[in-house]
Protein backbone atom coordinates (compact mmCIF):
# COMPACT_ATOMS: atom_id res chain seq x y z
CA UNK A 1 0.00 0.00 0.00
CA UNK A 2 2.76 2.43 0.90
CA UNK A 3 4.36 2.14 -2.54
CA UNK A 4 1.06 3.01 -4.25
CA UNK A 5 0.47 5.96 -1.93
CA UNK A 6 3.97 7.29 -2.58
CA UNK A 7 3.45 6.98 -6.33
CA UNK A 8 0.13 8.84 -6.11
CA UNK A 9 1.69 11.53 -3.90
CA UNK A 10 4.49 12.01 -6.43
CA UNK A 11 1.93 12.20 -9.25
CA UNK A 12 -0.11 14.76 -7.35
CA UNK A 13 2.95 16.91 -6.70
CA UNK A 14 3.84 16.76 -10.41
CA UNK A 15 0.25 17.55 -11.51
CA UNK A 16 -0.04 20.45 -9.05
CA UNK A 17 3.15 21.88 -10.54
CA UNK A 18 1.79 21.44 -14.11
CA UNK A 19 -1.43 23.30 -13.26
CA UNK A 20 0.24 26.05 -11.23
CA UNK A 21 2.95 26.69 -13.83
CA UNK A 22 0.23 27.03 -16.48
CA UNK A 23 -1.86 29.37 -14.30
CA UNK A 24 1.15 31.65 -13.79
CA UNK A 25 0.93 32.48 -17.51
CA UNK A 26 -2.79 33.29 -17.45
CA UNK A 27 -4.04 36.89 -17.21
CA UNK A 28 -5.32 37.93 -13.80
CA UNK A 29 -8.79 38.68 -15.16
CA UNK A 30 -9.13 35.04 -16.28
CA UNK A 31 -8.03 33.75 -12.86
CA UNK A 32 -10.61 35.93 -11.11
CA UNK A 33 -13.50 35.65 -13.58
CA UNK A 34 -16.69 34.00 -12.31
CA UNK A 35 -17.23 31.12 -14.70
CA UNK A 36 -20.36 29.58 -13.23
CA UNK A 37 -18.59 26.38 -12.18
CA UNK A 38 -18.76 24.57 -8.85
CA UNK A 39 -16.72 27.18 -7.00
CA UNK A 40 -17.10 30.30 -9.12
CA UNK A 41 -13.94 30.27 -11.19
CA UNK A 42 -10.30 29.30 -11.18
CA UNK A 43 -9.15 31.27 -8.14
CA UNK A 44 -12.01 29.91 -6.01
CA UNK A 45 -11.37 26.36 -7.23
CA UNK A 46 -7.74 26.70 -6.15
CA UNK A 47 -8.88 28.02 -2.78
CA UNK A 48 -11.22 25.04 -2.41
CA UNK A 49 -8.27 22.73 -3.15
CA UNK A 50 -6.21 24.48 -0.45
CA UNK A 51 -9.09 24.49 2.02
CA UNK A 52 -9.53 20.73 1.64
CA UNK A 53 -5.79 20.30 2.28
CA UNK A 54 -6.08 22.15 5.58
CA UNK A 55 -9.18 20.27 6.65
CA UNK A 56 -7.78 16.81 5.96
CA UNK A 57 -4.39 17.69 7.44
CA UNK A 58 -6.05 18.71 10.72
CA UNK A 59 -8.32 15.64 10.73
CA UNK A 60 -5.41 13.26 10.25
CA UNK A 61 -3.52 14.99 13.03
CA UNK A 62 -6.65 14.51 15.22
CA UNK A 63 -7.16 18.23 15.76
CA UNK A 64 -10.40 19.05 17.52
CA UNK A 65 -10.80 22.35 15.70
CA UNK A 66 -10.09 22.68 12.00
CA UNK A 67 -7.98 25.71 11.11
CA UNK A 68 -8.97 26.75 7.59
CA UNK A 69 -6.82 29.15 5.59
CA UNK A 70 -7.80 32.79 5.62
CA UNK A 71 -10.10 33.97 2.82
CA UNK A 72 -7.51 36.66 2.18
CA UNK A 73 -5.36 33.98 0.53
CA UNK A 74 -7.80 34.01 -2.40
CA UNK A 75 -6.41 37.41 -3.34
CA UNK A 76 -2.76 36.34 -3.18
CA UNK A 77 -2.30 33.85 -6.01
CA UNK A 78 1.43 33.34 -5.36
CA UNK A 79 0.95 32.61 -1.67
CA UNK A 80 -2.05 30.36 -2.28
CA UNK A 81 -0.19 28.26 -4.84
CA UNK A 82 2.90 28.04 -2.62
CA UNK A 83 0.66 26.66 0.13
CA UNK A 84 -0.78 24.05 -2.24
CA UNK A 85 2.73 22.97 -3.23
CA UNK A 86 3.81 22.84 0.43
CA UNK A 87 1.00 20.42 1.13
CA UNK A 88 2.20 18.24 -1.76
CA UNK A 89 5.51 17.90 0.09
CA UNK A 90 3.81 17.42 3.47
CA UNK A 91 1.66 14.51 2.24
CA UNK A 92 4.70 12.88 0.66
CA UNK A 93 6.65 13.22 3.90
CA UNK A 94 3.76 11.89 6.00
CA UNK A 95 3.51 8.78 3.80
CA UNK A 96 7.28 8.23 3.67
CA UNK A 97 7.44 8.28 7.47
CA UNK A 98 4.34 6.13 8.05
CA UNK A 99 4.70 2.45 8.85
CA UNK A 100 2.35 -0.08 7.26
CA UNK A 101 0.65 -0.38 10.67
CA UNK A 102 0.09 3.38 10.75
CA UNK A 103 -1.43 3.28 7.26
CA UNK A 104 -3.82 0.51 8.35
CA UNK A 105 -4.75 2.30 11.59
CA UNK A 106 -8.46 3.15 11.80
CA UNK A 107 -9.14 6.60 13.12
CA UNK A 108 -12.31 8.57 13.76
CA UNK A 109 -13.02 12.01 12.39
CA UNK A 110 -16.01 14.26 11.83
CA UNK A 111 -17.02 15.85 8.57
CA UNK A 112 -18.28 19.41 8.20
CA UNK A 113 -21.78 18.25 9.21
CA UNK A 114 -20.31 16.82 12.45
CA UNK A 115 -21.06 13.24 11.32
CA UNK A 116 -18.55 10.73 12.69
CA UNK A 117 -16.67 8.29 10.47
CA UNK A 118 -14.06 5.62 11.13
CA UNK A 119 -11.67 4.66 8.37
CA UNK A 120 -8.14 3.37 7.95
CA UNK A 121 -5.62 6.08 7.24
CA UNK A 122 -4.71 4.63 3.83
CA UNK A 123 -8.31 5.06 2.59
CA UNK A 124 -8.35 8.69 3.65
CA UNK A 125 -4.95 9.25 2.01
CA UNK A 126 -6.24 7.68 -1.22
CA UNK A 127 -9.12 10.17 -1.15
CA UNK A 128 -6.83 13.11 -0.42
CA UNK A 129 -4.37 12.17 -3.16
CA UNK A 130 -7.16 11.71 -5.69
CA UNK A 131 -9.32 14.71 -4.71
CA UNK A 132 -7.54 17.31 -6.81
CA UNK A 133 -7.65 15.23 -9.98
CA UNK A 134 -11.27 16.25 -10.52
CA UNK A 135 -10.36 19.90 -10.02
CA UNK A 136 -7.49 19.75 -12.53
CA UNK A 137 -10.12 18.84 -15.13
CA UNK A 138 -12.36 21.69 -14.02
CA UNK A 139 -9.51 24.20 -14.25
CA UNK A 140 -8.42 22.97 -17.67
CA UNK A 141 -12.02 23.20 -18.92
CA UNK A 142 -12.36 26.75 -17.59
CA UNK A 143 -9.08 27.73 -19.27
CA UNK A 144 -10.19 26.19 -22.56
CA UNK A 145 -13.50 28.10 -22.34
CA UNK A 146 -11.49 31.33 -21.96
CA UNK A 147 -9.52 30.65 -25.14
CA UNK A 148 -6.35 29.42 -23.45
CA UNK A 149 -4.94 26.69 -25.66
CA UNK A 150 -1.56 25.92 -24.08
CA UNK A 151 -2.87 23.46 -21.51
CA UNK A 152 -1.04 20.86 -19.44
CA UNK A 153 -1.75 17.15 -19.66
CA UNK A 154 -2.21 15.98 -16.08
CA UNK A 155 -3.08 12.34 -16.70
CA UNK A 156 -1.46 9.83 -14.39
CA UNK A 157 -0.18 7.83 -17.38
CA UNK A 158 1.73 10.88 -18.65
CA UNK A 159 3.33 11.27 -15.24
CA UNK A 160 4.21 7.58 -14.96
CA UNK A 161 5.85 7.62 -18.41
CA UNK A 162 8.06 10.50 -17.27
CA UNK A 163 9.35 8.74 -14.15
CA UNK A 164 12.83 7.27 -14.46
CA UNK A 165 12.86 3.60 -13.58
CA UNK A 166 15.85 1.73 -12.09
Query: What local confidence, expressed as pLDDT, does residue 90 receive?
Result: 95
> Looking at the 3D structure of the chain, how many domains does it have?
1
pTM of the model: 0.89
pLDDT at 34 over 70: yes
Query: What local confidence, expressed as pLDDT, does residue 75 receive?
Result: 83
Query: What local confidence, expressed as pLDDT, does residue 64 receive?
Result: 77
Query: What local confidence, expressed as pLDDT, does residue 166 receive?
Result: 53
How many angstroms separate the CA atoms of 69 and 55, rounded? 9
Query: What local confidence, expressed as pLDDT, does residue 165 receive?
Result: 61
Percentage with pLDDT > 90 across the chain: 73
Query: What local confidence, expressed as pLDDT, does residue 70 receive?
Result: 78
Which residues span the domain enclosing 98?
2-162
Nearest Cα to Cα of residue 11 among 166, 156, 162:
156
Nearest Cα to Cα of residue 103 among 15, 5, 30:
5
Q: What is the CATH number of the domain that holds 152?
A: 1.20.120.450
Higher-confidence position of 40 and 2: 2
Query: What local confidence, expressed as pLDDT, does residue 47 receive?
Result: 93
Amino acid sequence: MKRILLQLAAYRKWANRQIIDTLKTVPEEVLSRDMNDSFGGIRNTLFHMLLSEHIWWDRIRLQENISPPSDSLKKDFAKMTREILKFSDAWMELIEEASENRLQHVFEYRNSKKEAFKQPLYEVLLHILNHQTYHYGQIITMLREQGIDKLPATDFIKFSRSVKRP
